[in-house]
Amino acid sequence: MQMNKWNITAISDIEPDVYLRPSFRISPFRSEDLVINLKKNDEELFYWDRFFDFERIGYYSNVMASGRECIDAVLSMLNLSREDKIYIATSSGNSYISGCVSKTIEKYCSLTRVREKNIKAALVIHEFGKFCDNDEIEALKNDGVKIIEDYAHAFPVFFQNDTRAKGDYVVFSFPKFFQIHFGGLLLSKNEVNVQTKLKKESVNFIKVCINSFLPDLEQIINSRKARYDYYSKELSRLRCKPYFHYDKCECPSVYLFYIDLNEYLLEKLKSFLQIRGVECSVFYGEKAFFIPCNQRLCFSEIDMIIQLIESYIKGVK
């Protein structure tokens, strides 16, 4: 595929009004999807019921408002004190953790990256679609520590190989993978009574929408991998390399890549792209950065993002 070339300088120096910015999201959700989703019929939930047959693998399920609400619900059930700690394991082993996760944990206790006293639960984050296979988890589980698996960015990873699931609780976030603007799913080994802000109608809305997306799951996975490969090819011109290499059972949720800029310049790149409508962030602790890689991102939009990055790099070199 030939990369589109535009005179990017025509727009790269412009900082549009917040309501006039283009939108390149990590989620595949777009504004027009809201109307499309509301028109979906209350049909038989054939795919939902078949796909989410969790009793087969020993889980109960609860539909929630978001992945964050799922984590909050679990932590609220663990009777945590301020002295307790949540052990964090990630696919990369990096110190990065999203603000929404850290803030949710800090409502109850503190988090740690090392095994120590007062660890009451372990949060295993399957980072950006990459399976986290941490040796410490089995040992913690044997010590009676509750395991929470965060598949918010790794929805298909769980379903490609659900036999690898170790969690007492499993968390999903639907907007990270599907074109819906809210919704999460909490699995638990025991039946639990969880609090959610969702009304009955909202739960049904989520089920109907996800049911309509599930037949396209394989196509979605392939589309994301194709965009990931395209990013890798085109960004190699800028001496950028992909951070993760995904195996057959994994699927990227973002394009995370190494880029040779210091922390200050990475922060400036983040601001530069966000002002121009690109959802992105620094992968803190390393010279790395992530940008959208969802299945509905056009290749011409990827070209635009790459050329904005190239324009920024040329401006700071």
pLDDT for residue 44: 82
pLDDT for residue 6: 63
Where do the H-state alpha helices sit in 52-97?
Answer: 67-77
The pLDDT-based confidence of 265 (bands split at 50, 70, 90) is: very high
Across residues 78-93, what is the average pLDDT? 94
Q: Is the pLDDT of residue 215 over 60?
A: yes
d(CA 85, CA 193): 24
Q: Which fold has domain 9-33+217-316?
A: Aspartate Aminotransferase, domain 1 (3.90.1150)
Q: What is the DSSP string of 249-275?
A: T---SEEEEE----HHHHHHHHHHHHH
The pLDDT-based confidence of 55 (bands split at 50, 70, 90) is: confident
Between 93 and 44, whose confidence is greater?
93
d(CA 290, CA 254): 6
- Of 279, 314, 317, nearest to 13 by C-alpha is 314
Radius of gyration of the chain (CA): 20
Report pLDDT digits (tens) over 158-182. Answer: 987 666 678 999 999 999 999 999 9
Across residues 57-79, what is the average pLDDT? 96
pLDDT for residue 52: 93
Report pLDDT digits (tens) over 274-285. Answer: 999 999 999 999
**Entry pTM:** 0.93
Report pLDDT digits (tens) over 110-160. Answer: 999 988 888 999 999 999 999 998 777 888 888 899 999 999 999 999 987
Architecture of domain 46-213: 3-Layer(aba) Sandwich (3.40)
Task: Please list, residue by residue across 13-29, b when 16 or more beta carbons sit within 10 angstroms of its beta carbon and e when fewer do.
Answer: eeeeeeeeeeebebbbb
pLDDT for residue 3: 64
With a pLDDT cut of 70, the percent of the chain lying above it is 96
Nearest-10 Cα torsion for 72, 75, 81, 82 = -50
pLDDT for residue 142: 87
Q: Which of 4-13, 49-58, 77-86, 172-181 has the lowest mean pLDDT?
A: 4-13
The pLDDT-based confidence of 316 (bands split at 50, 70, 90) is: confident
- Of 249, 185, 188, nearest to 218 by C-alpha is 249
The pLDDT-based confidence of 210 (bands split at 50, 70, 90) is: very high
Q: Is the pLDDT of residue 2 over 60?
A: no
In this chain, the answer to whether the domains covering 9-33+217-316 and 46-213 adopt an identical fold is no
pLDDT for residue 254: 98
The side-by-side arrangement of strands in the sheet containing 184-188 is 60-64, 184-188, 169-173, 146-150, 119-125, 85-90, 110-112
Q: Is the pLDDT of residue 1 over 90?
A: no
Q: How many helices (H) and strands (E) does the chain have?
A: 11, 11
Residue 88 three-state SS: strand
Question: What are the φ/ψ torsions at residue 7 (nearest 5 degrees)?
Answer: -80, 80
For the chain, the structural domain boundaries read 9-33+217-316, 46-213
Sign for the CA dihedral angle at 62, 64, 69, 71 comes to positive
